[in-house]
Amino acid sequence: MTDRPRLTVLGTGYLGMTHAACMASEGFEVLGLDIDAEKVARLNAGDVPIFEPGLEELVKDGLSSGRLRFTTSYEEAAEFGDVHFVCVGTPQRRDGHDGADLSQVEACIDGLAPGLTRPCLIVGKSTVPAGTAAVLAERATALAPAGDAVELAWNPEFLREGHGVQDTLSPDRLVIGVTSAHAEEVLRTVYAPQLEAGIPLFVTDRPTAELAKVAANAFLATKISFINAVAEVCDKASADVTVLAQVLGADARIGSAFLQPGLGFGGGCLPKDVRAFLARAGELGAGDALKFLREVDAINLGRRTGMVDLAREVAGGSVSGKAVCVLGAAFKPGSDDVRDSPALDVAKILHGYGAEVTVYDPQALANARKVCPELSYADSAIAAATGADVVLLLTDWPEFGKLDPEELGAVTSTRAIVDGRYMLDPAAWRAAGWVYRASGIPAPADSQSSSMAKQSS
């Protein structure tokens, strides 16, 4: 192996595409692989099929420099690469089991290994249950002509959609699960720019590395569900959850990150990782230790039905025949990903109750139309809100926080808004004649104690 190994990235979804482009930007020769020939052709033409800030520019730079290209051939990838990164999806199984579907990971090993005729390192980045790496290592060495000269390590990703490029080039930590000093040395070479910049590196065994991602996601999910559950208590106590979250976040033992109330988490990672972690714990005989995660998941899903109930309440008890504007379709800002999107889920439920739902999102409209063709869509917030009886703010895009209550109120049928992401100033919107509602924020008659808390800060 040369001092600067050649890299392959197997799978060009959100993770793989970002990893490939970022590694190429650091001077590595990178070959991305995907079994979707149309997608590969688009990528080789510089057409990036997802929205991720900064990614398209990196892909085009990599292509023009010759350091990045894409293929559908496992044989070509096996011959090209010294280090092979497995970046395919591990969605939730569809057979009624909450565990991870490992078929794509297994297909990668089955496709790549028969072409491995020289020493190399396979590096898993996909999120998998603990114990997967050991099974895949045996599978790879059994299939590969190079046999035991093929090593397998695990290197979990911690990317946040909307910040993927930044999180790849400058992560807050690196984790590598290895079984040899050689594998560690190779990955230290791959991540030399990050290590030179002082990024912490944790060298572990493979099971610890496999658990790092799901454990982190389970903790973040728990923190989100906790503050959302507290919001429901605030509703009953006429307290202000936004002020309470600030008070809690000021405690250094707790911290403010992921302690913002809202509509809950979604996307392609957090929900399925929580369920897969719980399922794997059960298989290992430790299910009781994580049974609280069932409540975390239930609280999260309950925020969606709670939002629907709040919308119906604001609409006078029923949304049937009412025009409802939904601001947001992506599961989070900075992304066009609508997988398990709380915003889109609420929109679908409201449609099922007979509402005439119109959705606007700055980036996710095309993806939303594919999965929810029954809804109506608009190309701006103003257009979506025109004639609306109720407006719901469900994805916290920055532009929604800048909405003018007078400008929006000039086009709606009724000035009624439900702020599912706590982006708006309740006093300003109520002063403009709006009925403003958000779970855990007192109605005007109950706001005296909350106002006093804010004034004393």
Give the other-Cβ count within 10 Å of 64's Cβ: 10
Distance CA 326, CA 22 (A): 35
The pairs formed by 397-400 with CB atoms below 8 angstroms and a separation of 24 or more are 397/327, 397/328, 397/330, 397/333, 397/361, 397/362, 398/333, 399/362, 400/327, 400/328
What are the start and end residues of each CATH 3.40.50.720 domain in the chain? 7-204, 215-455
Residue 393 binned pLDDT confidence (cut-offs 50, 70, 90): very high
Burial tier of 456 (Cβ tally within 10 Å: 0-12, 13-18, 19+)? exposed
Distance CA 7, CA 16 (A): 12
CATH topology for 7-204 is Rossmann fold (3.40.50)
Closest by CA to 101, choosing from 138, 128, 122, 137, is 128
Helix (H) or strand (E) holding 324: strand 323-327
- Condensed to tens digits (0 to 9), the pLDDT of residues 153-189 reads 999 999 998 999 999 999 999 999 999 999 999 999 9
Q: Please determine, for residue 457, whether its predicted confidence score (pLDDT) is greater than 90.
A: no
Question: Which amino acid is located at 220 in the chain?
Answer: L
Distance CA 41, CA 45 (A): 6
* Residues 177 and 205 sit within 8 Å (Cβ to Cβ): yes
* Cα dist from 11 to 63, 85, 392, whole Å: 17, 9, 36
Hunting for tokens 């496709």 — which residue is that?
Answer: 111
Section 361-369 average pLDDT: 97
Section 143-157 average pLDDT: 98
Distance CA 257, CA 427 (A): 25
- Using only the alpha carbons of the chain, give its radius of gyration: 24
Q: Chain-wide mean pLDDT for the chain?
A: 95
Section 335-357 average pLDDT: 97
Q: Please determine, for residue 2, whether its predicted confidence score (pLDDT) is greater than 60.
A: no
Residue 388 sits at φ, ψ, to 5 deg, of -75, 140
* Cα dist from 353 to 94, 250, 317, 374, whole Å: 27, 41, 11, 13
* Residues 205 and 211 sit within 8 Å (Cβ to Cβ): no
Residue 443 binned pLDDT confidence (cut-offs 50, 70, 90): confident
Residue 11 sits at φ, ψ, to 5 deg, of 105, 125
Residue 343 sits at φ, ψ, to 5 deg, of -60, -50
- Condensed to tens digits (0 to 9), the pLDDT of residues 107-126 reads 999 999 999 999 999 999 99
Burial tier of 321 (Cβ tally within 10 Å: 0-12, 13-18, 19+)? exposed
Section 247-272 average pLDDT: 95
Q: Please determine, for residue 450, whether its predicted confidence score (pLDDT) is greater than 70.
A: no
Instruction: Give the residue numbers annotated as catalytic, written as ranges.
Output: 269
Section 58-85 average pLDDT: 98
Burial tier of 402 (Cβ tally within 10 Å: 0-12, 13-18, 19+)? exposed
Distance CA 247, CA 92 (A): 36
Q: Please determine, for residue 446, whether its predicted confidence score (pLDDT) is greater than 60.
A: no
Return the structure tokens found at 352: 């099922």
Distance CA 320, CA 390 (A): 12
Is the torsion defined by CA of 14, 18, 21, 24 positive or negative?
A: negative
Helix (H) or strand (E) holding 354: none
Query: For the structural domain made of 215-455, what CATH number should be given?
Result: 3.40.50.720
Pairing of strands 174-177, 390-393: unpaired
Closest by CA to 157, choosing from 123, 112, 119, 203, is 123
Give the other-Cβ count within 10 Å of 313's Cβ: 14
Helix axes 448-455, 241-249, angle to 10 degrees: 30
